[in-house]
Chains A and B, each alone.
Chain A
Amino acid sequence: MILVIAEHDGAALKTATRNTVAAAQKIGGPIDVLVAGHNAALAAQAAAQVAGVAKVLHADAPQYAAPTAENLAALVVGLAAPYTHILLPATGFGKNVAPRIAALLDVAQISDIIAVESANTFVRPIYAGNAFATVQSKDAKMVITVRATGFDAAPASGGSGTIESIVAPADNGRVEVLGQELTVSDRPELASARIVVSGGRGLQNGANFKLLEALADKLHAAIGASRAAVDAGYVPNDYQVGQTGKIVAPDLYIAVGISGAIQHLAGMKDSKVIVAINKDADAPIFQIADYGLVGDLFEIIPQLTAELG
């Protein structure tokens, strides 16, 4: 039996949750989903409708409105007994809590899997994706984080899972969430967008990202950025695509003014089609781009936006 820990916003599941269910299906066996939230009945219902889900465990408590790793790990460990595999998306959410669960269960964690070879053997990237390791667990129970780009999301509908309310353990009390500053955007979620337009140091400042916004509006694209652009303060941290930022694999990735450092490529090189726009003809990004365009982005981006009508 497999337990998938859902990432959600109270009303809907994050797409990565369905990619994680897809990975669970590859492992095989009944799949339960844990939805821990506060007034998150809609998310629990959404989870029950995901194809392949047998049962949703729904824990409702105020401390799960913005769950801390301490509270969520305590809940999961209490539920762990019947499960052979506990899966979480390899997002900031999953990465924060999964190792805490694994350590409490005294088992290894298998991070960021991109393929399932068998019920105890998985493929995961190491060295910023410059090597793929096939690893086999010797533990009876496995805690796994799933890289969303490795698995096509399980359909959001077609399932008929039951929903069971479960009791939450007491609030850990030693950690208080003082607040969250979330980037508000009408654009698609970066991690699951079909098209991503990313900017780098070549944009020169934050105001120039407006150029990319106009292009992204035409393409219904999400906006990303290189580490250099985030470090320079052009855009917030949650825009970062790369080894330690978000891993994306959209149908179309347009890299603008990004040179192509190894750690950036690690976050986007599995995109279906890559476009690179850079004034430096020798930039490493061109080596992996399907369509490279050498030139001044400040001329090219408005032209490109205009061409798209």
Chain B
Amino acid sequence: MKVLVPIKRVVDFNVKVRVKPDGTGVDTANVKMSMNPFDEIAVEEAVRLKEKGVATEVIAVSCGSTACQETLRTALAIGADRAWLVETDAELQPLAVAKLLRAIAVKEAPQLIIMGKQAIDDDANQTGQMLAALLDWPQATFASKVDIADGKAVVKREIDGGLETLSMSLPAVITTDLRLNEPRYATLPNIMKAKKKPLEVIKPDALGVDITPRLATLKVVEPPKRKGGGRVADAKELVAKLRNEAKVIP
């Protein structure tokens, strides 16, 4: 069984982003970039499926600029077998990415697609569900446990009130939540090996996909600043302030 793992290159989660003074976006020049943390969990899960003998091949795919090759090499170092880059410098929005991924999925015919539930840059939380819809496959979002057996996926997923368990026929799309696994660190020998693994580059045109953005970003601003830093000495003063100053408790 082939597993396809879409990944996104994003500003590293430790970086505090700055809004550009001209309001056109956030500053990504000279900022550390990494694989989206949820996608790292997806790669790890796919590699574990291969180690368990459930998956036969793990294929990573990313959409974006040439620099995404670096992110794909990270996936290969974790244990993916080969990679696709759908290369473009144009702005990509979730629907366009879902269409590009569908085209790759049609080429590769995987039985399972595992990807992050959300990218930590645009926080959209859309691409996996869109891809499942476009392929007309079942979906299991926000997965915290995945079992594959007998042509079915049984997925425990995080929902608002707790957990839900779904059983679905394959092929299917699964999106990862935080507690699915803890991704391994790529070892140096594996990082070296990853450099020699196959990575194919293709353009959106060659996949016949229209990637024109549907949303225009008119401006990006900093959120209102919160004035904090107030201190109280003890529990007694805190209760008095909450009652008499903030008036949030009776």
Contacts and interface: CB of A to CB of B under 8 A. Distances in A.
Interface of A: 66, 68-70, 73, 91-93, 95-104, 106-112, 121, 125-139, 172, 174-183, 191, 195, 219, 227, 230-231, 236-238, 243-244, 246, 251-252, 262-263, 269, 272-275, 286-295, 300, 303-304, 306-308
B17 interface: yes
B239 interface: yes
B238 interface: yes
Contact of B125 (A99, A246, A292): A99
Contacts of A272: 246, 248
Dominant secondary structure of chain B at its interface with chain A: mixed
Interface stretch (B50-58, B62-70, B162-170, B194-202): B162-170
A14 B103 CA distance: 38
B141 A95 contact: yes
Interface footprint category on B: 35 or more
Contacts of A306: 235
A133 B234 contact: no
B214 interface: yes
A96 B142 contact: yes
B138 A303 contact: no
Dominant secondary structure of chain A at its interface with chain B: mixed
Interface stretch (B74-82, B105-113, B183-191, B218-226): B218-226
Given A135-B218, A176-B166, A93 B241 contact: no
Given A131-B221, A135-B216, A175-B138, A181 B163 contact: yes
B110 to A, nearest CB: 17
A68 B13 contact: no
A41 B142 CA distance: 29
Contacts of B165: 177-180
B179 A237 contact: yes
Nearest to B216: A136
Contacts of A91: 160
- Nearest first, the 4 A-B pairs at minimum CB distance are A108-B214, A99-B129, A103-B130, A103-B133
B246 A252 contact: yes
B234 A286 contact: no
24 contacts: A68-B166, A69-B139, A95-B125, A100-B139, A107-B95, A109-B94, A109-B124, A109-B130, A111-B126, A130-B26, A131-B17, A132-B220, A134-B221, A135-B217, A138-B215, A172-B138, A174-B168, A175-B167, A176-B167, A178-B154, A236-B163, A273-B248, A286-B229, A288-B228
Interface string B233-250: 111101101100010110
B123 A126 contact: yes
Given A121-B218, A181-B164, 9 more contacts: A99-B133, A103-B134, A128-B120, A131-B26, A131-B223, A136-B215, A237-B162, A304-B238, A307-B239
Contact of B246 (A69, A290, A304): A290
Contacts of A288: 226, 228
Contact of A99 (B94, B168, B241, B248): B94
Contacts of A176: 166-168
B146 interface: no
Nearest to A244: B118
Interface in B82-114: 93-95, 98
B166 A238 contact: no
A52 to B, nearest CB: 24
A99 B126 contact: yes
Contacts of B162: 180-183, 236-238
A111 B124 contact: yes
Contacts of A181: 162-164
Contact of B132 (A100, A129, A262): A100
B230 interface: yes
A117 to B, nearest CB: 8
B22 interface: no
B123 A125 contact: yes
A12 to B, nearest CB: 13
Contacts of B132: 69, 100
A44 to B, nearest CB: 20
Contacts of B125: 95, 99, 111
B218 A70 contact: no
B232 to A, nearest CB: 5
A180 B11 CA distance: 35
A246 B26 CA distance: 24
A108 B212 CA distance: 11
Given A92-B159, A126-B220, A227-B178, A291 B241 contact: yes
A76 to B, nearest CB: 11
Contacts of B231: 286, 291-294
B10 to A, nearest CB: 9
A127 B124 CA distance: 10
B1 to A, nearest CB: 17
B120 to A, nearest CB: 7
Contact of B133 (A104, A238, A251): A104
A103 B139 CA distance: 13
